[in-house]
Amino acid sequence: MTLTRRDFAKLGTLTLAAGFAPLLHAQPSAKKTGYAVIGLGRIAGHFMPGARNTTNSQITALVSGHRDKADRIAAEYGIPSSSIYNYENFDEIAHNPAVDAVYVALPNSMHAEYTIRAAKAGKHVLCEKPMSTNVADAEAMIAACKAANVKLMIAYRCHYEPTNLRAVKLIRDGALGQVQAIESSFGFNMGPNEWRTNKKLAGGGPLFDVGIYCLNACRYLTGEEPEHIAAFASTIDHDGRFSEVEENVSWTMKFPSGIVASCNTTYGAPMEGYYRVHGAKGWLEVDQAFVYEGLRLRADFSGTQLDEPNPARDPSQFQAEAEHFSHCVQNNLEPQSPGEEGLRDMGYITQIYRSAGIAI
């Protein structure tokens, strides 16, 4: 299926309403949800300890092209050698009763293939963001999971993170009055020879990787979907890193209420992940809003001043998302960041690139 702008708006309203309902706290369960981790790179190195810290999740299988690395991790997590797969024999996972779900931690362009293969194997899917590299793949992922009657959740950590949830609640409760504007940014200075600068693997530049946090945050902070988007992109450093993807993207979004958001992302400079929300009664900001630890909420509204550092340490955010998805799997509940949430962002990323004159 191909969704129209009106279809996207309907999806967005539903997912925003679901995504920031009060979180269901998982209770200890007799059976833990078993995860096969697909791809053993950096992000998997955060997820696996997080899942191990839960009461309802465990790592029961690994999928990797590097057997020696998989063997080392399997020994750490008590995974038998029979539950180590490569990308060629991955479909055999269908016959492993210890695996209830998969965690897709692969480069962006591989998300669709392994989500669809996992669904056909009868396994639930927790897929890293960005969901895919285009809208068509995102739609196919959702369709495959629905056809197989398995759950699909996109790993938007911030939807389950207390400081971000606190910011949303303050705004929804009217603490800032009518919100007028939002600023958000996230970026870093990309090193050479990273897969993220390979367009075939990544889909695009920093917008796919870290700018998506700003995009998604503006949506959950406003509780609205943007009506108008305008964007610019540039490459300043012609040193070989950005021969396939852009270095910088800046964009603005206007929401139905009139709120205007201004966002920036880069691979060319350290750019702290943050957002600042301006309302009629005051302001609110979250520093380090999109990273694994060190978040801090500050606000000043109606004579009230807040300064709330979050002491939680990595891998607490991964623990929270694993705990939530396992709870949904065990109780047949819809995740609070389902595939439709990822599809929404893919649609907006497409609009941003088109506005900036970049083919996607």
Instruction: Assign residue 45 the CATH number of its domain.
Output: 3.40.50.720
In a domain, 131, yes or no: yes
DSSP characters over 100-165: SEEEE-S-GGGHHHHHHHHHHTT-EEEEPSS--SSHHHHHHHHHHHHHTT--EEE--GGGG-HHHH
Residue 10 annotated as catalytic: no
Please check whether residues 278 and 253 belong to one and the same domain. yes
Domain region containing 147: 22-158
Q: Are residues 145 and 194 in the same domain?
A: no
Sign of CA dihedral 263, 153, 63, 27: positive
160 is catalytic: no
Does residue 6 belong to any structural domain of this protein? no
| Same domain flag for 84 and 126 | yes
Establish if 295 belongs to a structural domain: yes
C-alpha to C-alpha distance for 349 and 182, rounded to whole angstroms: 18
Alpha-carbon gap, residue 333 to 30, rounded angstroms: 18
From 129, 199, 275, 353, the catalytic residue: 129
- Domain endpoint, select from 133, 158, 183: 158
The tens place of each residue's pLDDT in the chain, 360 residues long, gives 344 444 434 444 434 444 454 454 555 667 899 999 999 999 999 999 999 999 999 999 999 999 999 999 999 999 999 999 999 999 999 999 999 999 999 999 999 999 999 999 999 999 999 999 999 999 999 999 999 999 999 999 999 999 999 999 999 999 999 999 999 999 999 999 999 999 999 999 999 999 999 999 999 999 999 999 999 999 999 999 999 999 999 999 999 999 999 999 999 999 999 999 999 999 999 999 999 999 999 999 999 999 999 999 999 999 999 999 999 999 999 999 999 999 999 999 999 999 999 988
- Could you identify the residue written with the tokens 């927790």? 126
**For residue 171, what is the domain's CATH number?**
3.30.360.10
Q: Does residue 101 contact residue 34 with C-beta atoms inside 8 Å?
A: yes
Q: Is residue 222 part of a domain?
A: yes
Q: Does 94 share its domain with 209?
A: no
204 and 218 inside one domain: yes
Domain's final residue, options 158, 190, 215:
158
CB 125 within 8 A of CB 153: yes
252/144 same-domain check: no
Q: Is residue 163 within 8 Å of residue 306, measured between CB atoms?
A: no
**Per-residue pLDDT at 16:** 47
154 and 171, same domain (yes or no): no
Q: Do residues 148 and 194 both lie within one domain? A: no
Q: What is the torsion angle, in degrees rounded to the nearest 10, for the CA atoms of residue 167, residue 173, residue 177 and residue 182?
A: 30
Give 308's DSSP letter.
E
φ, ψ of residue 35 to 5 degrees: the values are: -110, 135
Is 191 among the domain residues? Answer: yes
| Domain match, 92 and 117 both | yes
Burial 76-108, CB ≥16 within 10 A → b, else e: ebebeeebbbeeeebeebeebeebbbbbbbbbb
Domain membership flag for residue 198? yes
Closest by alpha carbon to 39, among 201, 273, 216, 158? 201
The answer on 175 and 96 residing in a single domain is no
Catalytic residue among 85, 103, 213, 274: 213
User: 153 and 166 share a domain?
Assistant: no
Q: β-strand 282-287 against 296-301: which pairing, if any?
A: antiparallel
pLDDT of residue 197: 96
Is there a contact between 179 and 278 (Cβ–Cβ < 8 Å)?
Answer: yes
Tally of domains within the chain: 2
The answer to whether position 92 is within a domain reads yes
Last residue of a domain, one of 158, 193, 213: 158
134 inside domain: yes
Same domain (yes/no): 128, 61: yes
User: In 158-206, where does DSSP find H-type helix?
Assistant: 162-172, 199-202, 206
- Alpha carbon distance 16, 260 (integer Å): 18
Structural contact between residues 157 and 318, judged by C-beta atoms closer than 8 angstroms = yes
